[in-house]
Chains A and B, each alone.
Chain A
Amino acid sequence: MADKIFAILEQREGSLKKVSFEVASVAINLANQLELQAEAVVVGNEINNLNDLSKYGISKLTHLKSELLANYSPSAYAEAIASFAKESGAKILIFPNTAMGVDLAPRVAVKLDAGIVMDCMKLEVKDSEVIATRPVYAGKALIDVKLNSDVKIFTIRPNVFKPQPVDSASLQTEIKQVENPDLKTKVTAFKKSEGKLDVAEADIIVSGGRGMKGPENFHLIEELAEALGAAVGASRAVVDAGWRPHREQVGQTGKTVSPSLYIACGISGAIQHLAGMSSSKYIVAINKDKDAPIFSVADYGIAGDVFEILPALTEEIKKLKS
Chain B
Amino acid sequence: MKIAVCISQVPDTATRIKIGSDHKSIDPNGVTYIINPYDEFAIEEALKTKEKIGGDSLVYVISVGDDSVKETLRKALAMGADEAVLLKSSSVKDSIGIARALSEEIKSLGCELVFCGKQSVDFDSGITGQLIAEMLGYNCVSVVVDFKLDGKKITAEREIEGGREVVETELPAVITAQKGLNEPRYASLKGIMAAKKKTIAEKPAVDLTGYTEILDMHLPQSKQPGRILGTDKSAVPELVRLLREEAKVI
Q: Is B one of A's binding partners?
A: yes
A residues near B, CB below 8 A? 72, 74-75, 78, 98-100, 102-103, 105-107, 109-111, 114-119, 131, 135-149, 152, 184-193, 195, 197-198, 200-201, 204, 228, 246-247, 249, 252-254, 256, 260-261, 271-272, 275, 278-279, 281-285, 290, 295-305, 308-309, 312-313, 316-317, 320
Known A261-B250, A313-B236: A138·B141 in contact at CB below 8 Å:
no
CB-nearest residue of chain A relative to B141?
Answer: A185
In the complex, per-residue mask of B201-224: 1 if CB is within 8 Å of any chain A CB, else 0: 000000000111111111110010
C-alpha spacing A138/B134, complex, angstroms: 26
Partner of B167, one of A117, A187, A201, A305: A187
Name 6 interchain pairs, CB-CB below 8 A, sorted by A. Answer: A146-B215, A152-B211, A253-B37, A272-B14, A300-B227, A302-B236
Majority secondary structure, B binding face: mixed
Is B13 touching A302 in the complex (CB atoms < 8 A)? no
Is B225 touching A103 in the complex (CB atoms < 8 A)? no
C-alpha spacing A254/B178, complex, angstroms: 10
Minimum CB–CB distance for B224 against chain A, Å: 8
Known A187-B165, A256-B124, A284-B243: A316·B211 in contact at CB below 8 Å:
no
Known A109-B96, A184-B169, A190-B166: A309·B210 in contact at CB below 8 Å:
no
Check: B70 CB closer than 8 A to any chain A CB. no
C-alpha spacing A152/B157, complex, angstroms: 30
Known A141-B26, A190-B163, A290-B228: A299·B158 in contact at CB below 8 Å:
no
Q: Which of A137, A200, A260 has the most CB of B within 10 A?
A: A137
Partner of A145, one of B26, B215, B233, B249: B215
C-alpha spacing A145/B17, complex, angstroms: 19
C-alpha spacing A99/B139, complex, angstroms: 17
- The interface residues of chain B lying within 8 Å CB-to-CB of A256 are 124
Q: Which of B13, B15, B237, B247 has the most CB of A within 10 A?
A: B13
Minimum CB–CB distance for B95 against chain A, Å: 7
- The interface residues of chain B lying within 8 Å CB-to-CB of A135 are 124, 220
Check: B109 CB closer than 8 A to any chain A CB. no
C-alpha spacing A298/B228, complex, angstroms: 9
B residues near A, CB below 8 A? 11, 13-17, 19, 24, 26, 37-38, 95-96, 121-127, 130-131, 133-135, 139-143, 157-170, 179-180, 210-220, 223, 225-233, 235-237, 239-240, 242-244, 247, 249-250
Known A189-B166, A191-B163, A278-B220: A302·B239 in contact at CB below 8 Å:
yes
Minimum CB–CB distance for A298 against chain B, Å: 4
How many contacts between A and B, using CB within 8 angstroms?
263
Is A295 touching B240 in the complex (CB atoms < 8 A)? no
Is B13 touching A271 in the complex (CB atoms < 8 A)? yes
Is B19 touching A141 in the complex (CB atoms < 8 A)? yes
Is B170 touching A184 in the complex (CB atoms < 8 A)? yes
**8 A-B pairs with least C-beta separation:** A115-B211, A99-B160, A110-B134, A106-B127, A312-B233, A149-B211, A185-B169, A189-B166
Partner of A139, one of B16, B143, B220: B220
Is B166 touching A200 in the complex (CB atoms < 8 A)? no
Known A141-B26, A295-B226: A316·B231 in contact at CB below 8 Å:
no
C-alpha spacing A38/B139, complex, angstroms: 31
Partner of B233, one of A252, A261, A308: A308
- The interface residues of chain A lying within 8 Å CB-to-CB of B216 are 143-144
C-alpha spacing A279/B216, complex, angstroms: 19
Is B122 touching A198 in the complex (CB atoms < 8 A)? no
Is B169 touching A320 in the complex (CB atoms < 8 A)? no
Is B242 touching A300 in the complex (CB atoms < 8 A)? yes
